[in-house]
């Protein structure tokens, strides 16, 4: 059976940074090992994506198309949606090559499986969550599939969605090492983001109130054997010349010791690679931060999200402001760039919490001033996702209604703090420019006071 794996468009513009389609590539690898004839098309790197899809369908003539929807929208406070190009892709496949049965999956699809299958009847089946075991079994019995984990099927006018698999044994993980998509299409396009993802584990038990990871991957951590992780990096480095990687884990440095052992293995093999990922602040200490830097970490991405202790508690982070500042202090002493992500106007925001957030931002900039190793601070409102505690909280507070359509961008950003993000961005941008341009600070406070930012006079 010929199977075409297609990565749907996951960026707004063709010139944006590209990310290798890890999920689709993993499944293509599994299907190839199972005896299927597989090809892969990433619409994000095609100059004319729909023309490329048409040509691939007519040339390869697949019997099934695995369509991966990774993102439903670009996030980052934007109100544009990636559902319209997904709709075009589904309809084009059905029109150009109606013989192929369309099987949808991916993180974005997994958030709205029933809704998307009802809206697009051209989709024959769907797979929610992990698909390594479900997709091959489905393809082996397309006309009458058994009940499989995560399988979405039509029953008359209904769409039945089976609970997703959240137990895949990561020791059996089969990484995409024979790359079906030309790596030059990604490495040549990107200036900032490492285009190649590496999974070291799945699952997350932290329970952040806005996050869908536990819904999709489960709460139990499942780690890959360290040797296999570094084997993958070494092979991609030697076979394709790939030097930069992004660890895709929800949190990279948990459980304690796993990342440390990976770093020790990288050093033992003397691999010349660079990498980044999202770090949990309370697990960064004097002993491991130097190891991370020595093993090739090029950016500490911190996502504490809460700008005050009240916000951290509402978001379910299990962190304190002291944890954030300690991690920032340690990171600022290294030669590694740091990036911080925060949520603005979280439930329960007050004048006092806004002022504390402004002071926290200022402290982070002050810590990094000497080393000039702060990349940026990213400030976002919360994208409300279905099935999360934040959805329930938003309904209870009247921010969204019972019939609010979360398929399209909906953010938690009620008045009176709906413009707080812009004022904080003014502070962030001012401090960032002054830091990197080495503008001298005169007497007084050239950055404004917390009261001025909170009140909106700046």
Residue span(s) of the chain under CATH 3.40.50.280 come to 2-161
Angle at 201 between CA 373 and CA 209, to 5 degrees: 75
Mean pLDDT (the chain) is 94
Residue span(s) of the chain under CATH 3.80.30.20 come to 176-455
Residue 445 confidence (pLDDT): 56
Residue 14 confidence (pLDDT): 66
Residue 448 confidence (pLDDT): 61
Residue 38 confidence (pLDDT): 97
CATH assignment of 176-455, among 3.20.20.80, 3.50.30.50, 1.10.150.450, 3.80.30.20: 3.80.30.20
Residue 183 confidence (pLDDT): 85
Q: Please state, for a pLDDT cut of 70, what percent of the chain lies above it.
A: 96
Q: How far apart are the first and last CA of the chain?
A: 62
What's the pLDDT tens digit per position in 83-114? 999 999 999 999 999 999 999 999 999 999 99
Please, are residues 342 and 359 in contact by the beta-carbon 8 Å criterion? no
Q: Stretch 374-396: mean pLDDT, rounded? A: 97
Residue 355 confidence (pLDDT): 95
Residue 24 — very low, low, confident or very high, per pLDDT cuts 50/70/90? very high
CATH superfamily of 2-161: Cobalamin-binding domain (3.40.50.280)
Whole-model pTM? Answer: 0.94
Examine the pLDDT at 17 and tell me if it is beyond 90.
no
Could you tell me if residue 253 is left (phi over 0), alpha (psi between -120 and 50 degrees) or otherwise beta? Answer: alpha
Residue 15 confidence (pLDDT): 63
What's the pLDDT tens digit per position in 125-155? 999 999 999 999 999 999 999 999 999 999 9
């Amino acid at each position: 059976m010929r199977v075409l794996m297609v990565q749907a468009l996951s960026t707004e513009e063709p010139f944006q940074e590209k990310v290798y389609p890890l999920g689709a590539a993993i499944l293509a690898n599994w299907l190839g090992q199972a005896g299927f004839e597989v090809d892969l098309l990433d619409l994000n790197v095609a100059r004319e994506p729909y023309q490329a899809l048409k040509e691939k369908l007519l040339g390869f003539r697949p019997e099934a198309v695995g369509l991966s929807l990774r993102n439903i929208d670009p996030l980052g406070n934007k109100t544009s949606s990636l559902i319209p190009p997904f709709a075009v892709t589904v309809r084009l496949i059905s029109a150009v090559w109606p013989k192929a049965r369309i099987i949808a999956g991916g993180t974005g699809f997994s958030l709205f499986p029933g809704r998307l299958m009802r809206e697009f009847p051209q989709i024959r089946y769907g797979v929610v969550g992990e698909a390594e075991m479900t997709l091959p079994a489905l393809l082996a019995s397309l006309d009458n599939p058994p009940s499989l984990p995560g399988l979405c099927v039509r029953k008359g006018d209904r769409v039945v969605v089976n609970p997703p698999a959240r137990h895949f044994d990561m020791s059996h993980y089969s990484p995409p090492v024979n790359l079906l998509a030309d790596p030059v299409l990604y490495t040549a396009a990107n200036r900032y983001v490492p285009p190649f993802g590496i999974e070291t584990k799945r699952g997350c038990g932290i329970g952040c109130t806005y996050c869908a990871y536990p819904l999709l991957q489960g709460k139990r951590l499942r780690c890959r054997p360290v040797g296999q992780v570094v084997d993958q990096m070494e092979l991609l480095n030697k076979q394709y010349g790939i030097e930069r990687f992004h660890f895709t884990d929800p949190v990279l440095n948990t459980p304690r010791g796993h990342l440390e052992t990976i770093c020790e293995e990288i050093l033992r093999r003397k691999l010349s690679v660079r990498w980044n990922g999202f770090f949990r602040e309370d697990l960064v200490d004097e002993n491991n931060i130097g190891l991370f830097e020595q093993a090739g970490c090029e950016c500490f991405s911190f996502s504490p999200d809460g700008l005050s202790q009240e916000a951290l508690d509402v978001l379910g982070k299990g962190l304190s402001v002291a944890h954030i500042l300690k991690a920032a202090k340690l990171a600022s002493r290294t030669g590694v760039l740091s990036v911080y992500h925060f949520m603005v106007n979280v439930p329960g925001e007050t004048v006092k919490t806004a002022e504390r957030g402004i002071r926290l931002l200022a402290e982070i900039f002050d810590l990094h001033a000497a080393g000039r190793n702060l990349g940026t601070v990213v400030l976002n409102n919360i994208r409300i996702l279905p099935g999360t505690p934040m959805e329930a909280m938003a309904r209870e507070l009247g921010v969204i209604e019972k019939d609010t359509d979360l398929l399209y961008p909906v953010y938690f950003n009620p008045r009176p703090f709906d413009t707080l993000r812009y004022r904080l961005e003014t502070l962030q941008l001012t401090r960032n420019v002054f830091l990197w341009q080495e503008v001298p600070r005169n007497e007084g406070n050239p950055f404004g006071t917390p009261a001025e930012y909170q009140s909106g006079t700046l």
